[in-house]
Homo-oligomer: A and B are copies of this chain.
Amino acid sequence: MYIAMNRFNIVPGRETDFEKLWQERETHLEQVPGFLDFHLVRGEKQDTSTLYASHSTWASKADFLTWTKSEAFRQAHKDAGKNSDLYIGHPVFEGFDVII
């Protein structure tokens, strides 16, 4: 099993706008081989930004990597450049192999 997290630092006061983007987003992940589940999670609120992460679980790292090279991935990320005023810096990816 594999957990893929992408960390986003959001401008204070824009948290609701960011959450709304994800609520309205069509990812079509359900149809992707090896996809298990998806969550948007909110971490610590700091003075200068609020941490969020996309959190998806996959049967294997290979399934996740195959998805990142697919047309479905390209479609799901085609609007990634929009709403750049919500973000502080670029998202930071972290992938985790599930050991236990």
Residues of A near any B CB (own CB < 8 A): 1, 3, 19, 22-23, 38-44, 51-53, 55, 94-100
Chain A interface, DSSP helix/strand/loop, else mixed? strand
- Closest residue of chain B to A93 (Cβ to Cβ) is B44
Selected from B1, B42, B94, the residue in CB contact (under 8 A) with A97 is B42
Residues of B within 8 A of A43 (CB): 94-96
In the complex, the 7 A-B pairs of residues with the closest C-beta atoms, listed nearest first: A41-B96, A40-B100, A40-B99, A42-B97, A39-B98, A43-B96, A42-B99
Residues of B within 8 A of A19 (CB): 99-100
User: Given contacts A3-B55, A55-B3, are A38 and B95 in contact (CB under 8 A)?
Assistant: no
